[in-house]
């Protein structure tokens, strides 16, 4: 279960990194 929690956190981390990278790209092309 603790490993499951760790797995969910890793997925969340990956998603946040991807979303922030998309924000990075958006900020670059929109300014």
Report 1-31 residues binding another protein (CB under 8 A): 1-3, 5-7, 9-10, 13-14, 16-18, 20-22, 24-29, 31
Q: Which of 26, 15, 22, 20 is nearest to 7 (CA)?
A: 15
Q: In the bound complex, what is the minimum distance in angstroms from residue 15's beta carbon to another protein?
A: 10
Measured CA to CA in angstroms, residue 31 lies from 19, 24, 27 at distances of: 18, 11, 6
Q: In the bound complex, what is the minimum distance in angstroms from residue 17's beta carbon to another protein?
A: 5
| Residues in contact with another protein by the rule CB under 8 A | 1-3, 5-7, 9-10, 13-14, 16-18, 20-22, 24-29, 31
């Amino acid at each position: 279960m603790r490993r499951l929690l760790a797995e969910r956190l890793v997925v969340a981390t990956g998603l946040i990194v991807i979303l922030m990278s998309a924000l990075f790209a958006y900020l670059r092309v929109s300014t």
